[in-house]
Amino acid sequence: MIGMRRRAWTRWEVMVPPVAAVVLAATWGRPPDSGLVVAAVALALVGAVVAAVHHAEVVAHRVGEPFGTLILAIAVTVIEVGLIVMLMTSGGPEAGSLARDTVFAAFMIVCNGVVGLCLLAGALRHRVVEFKVEGVTAALATLSAVATMSLVLPSFTTSSPGPTFSPPQLAFAGIASLTLYAVFVFMQTVRHRDYFLPPGADGEEVHAAPPSARQSWTSLGLLLVCLVGVVGLAKTASPAIEQAVAAAGAPRAVVGVAIAMLVLLPETAAAVRAARRNRVQTSFNLALGSALASIGLTIPAIALASRWLEGPLTLGLGPKEMVLLALTVVVTTLTVAPGRATLMQGTVHLTIFGAFLFLAVTP
């Protein structure tokens, strides 16, 4: 039975990339003109994102650390940046805040939604969950610094009008984000790897056998197909997305929330599964690592792409978003400081996440 399930999953992960490529070829160059075509493009886009992350994990498992982490992070960043750039180019100058909305949404989704779900799933099954303070606080400190420098400071600088950075400031923010992320990856995978192993795990954590060279090369090829499909399908679907948001009367920030949720969906599922097995440390590694890659690599990539985009790149948050970010940092710090958590902490994080979603739709 297990073997049958595995073969079915293998067929799915192999079939999705070419299907996405076929849908892209059939719809490229013309906007979707019917609900059926829009649904097909949306399903192909979601499938390509999930398949891309899976194949990136296969390749990452094959090459090992620290290069595996980098491959997975780069794949996720390409997906996110591709979605943002395609929607920004189709939305014109009014879409200049899309990168900010997506990055902020990724921060809130991870630190409240994913963390809250993991703590809730783990505490419901094991009452009290434990994790290593050294690793989680290092990730949280890095994530908070990158988010604050990229999303809060632009609202207070005076070199350029509005909540924007001047070109030198944007370059500094991009370099600082990339540097912090690189040092964190080095610490996580080389210098202090034991800080990120589950409590009680001595030495190396036990892993499944790495995939064969043939499987790895196949996954690499399918990963490239998926990445091309994601970027192309995002461009094809962008008019329909903008029309749907406008028809619903929702703020444009909802688009950023949708992108962040789509990109983080596979890692969220893996993090919750780990929490149910009482491996909350692994859940935090997945969740906070994805958020760091999302912010630490997306900001430099968008800063570089902004040279060819029309209009200013709006990065600074408004007062309401700054309050939510500050509240999230304080609550998350209090949650991880003891090295153990219960159902209460999970409920608090999910409540903040609910407030974020509600205020995104009804600002």
Q: Look at residue 85 and give its three-state secondary structure.
A: helix
Q: Distance of alpha carbon 37 from its chain centroid, rounded?
A: 27
Residue 128 has pLDDT above 60, yes or no: yes
Confidence (pLDDT) at 26: 84
CA dist., res. 157 & res. 164, Å (int): 8
Among 125-134, 156-165, 287-296, whose mean pLDDT is lowest? 287-296
Where is average pLDDT lowest: 14-23, 72-81, 346-355? 72-81
6 pLDDT exceeds 70?
no
* Cα gap 233→227, rounded to integer Å: 10
Phi-psi region of 248 (alpha: psi -120 to 50; beta: other; left: phi over 0): alpha
Residue 4, classified by CB atoms within 10 Å of its CB into exposed (0-12), middle (13-18) or buried (19+), is exposed
Q: Compute the average pLDDT of residues 39-53.
A: 82
pLDDT at 161: 85
Give the rounded percent of residues in the chain with a pLDDT score beyond 90. Answer: 19
- Within 10 angstroms of residue 176's Cβ, the number of other Cβ atoms is 17
Top-level class of domain 2-361: mainly alpha
Tokens of 329: 């940092």
Residue 203 pLDDT: 47
- pLDDT tier for residue 32 given thresholds of 50, 70 and 90: low
Exposed/middle/buried for residue 36 (C-beta within 10 Å: 0-12, 13-18, 19+): exposed
pLDDT of residue 306: 75
Looking at every residue in the chain, the average pLDDT score rounds to 81
Q: pLDDT confidence of 50, banded at 50, 70, 90?
A: confident
The token duo for 116 is: 């809250």
Name the DSSP class of 315: -
| Region at 113 (left for phi over 0; alpha for psi -120 to 50; beta for the rest) | alpha
Would you state the pLDDT for residue 193? 79
Strands 340-341, 129-130: pairing kind: antiparallel
pLDDT at 5 > cutoff 60: no
Tokens describing residue 304: 């570089």
Residue-wise pLDDT for 178-235, tens only, equals 899 888 888 887 788 777 777 665 544 445 567 777 888 888 888 888 878 877 887 7
* pTM given for the model: 0.82
**In this predicted structure, what is the pLDDT of residue 322?**
95
> 179 near 145, Cβ under 8 Å?
no
Give the pLDDT confidence score for residue 348 in this predicted structure: 96
Which range, 46-55, 117-126, 258-267, has the best average confidence (pLDDT)? 117-126
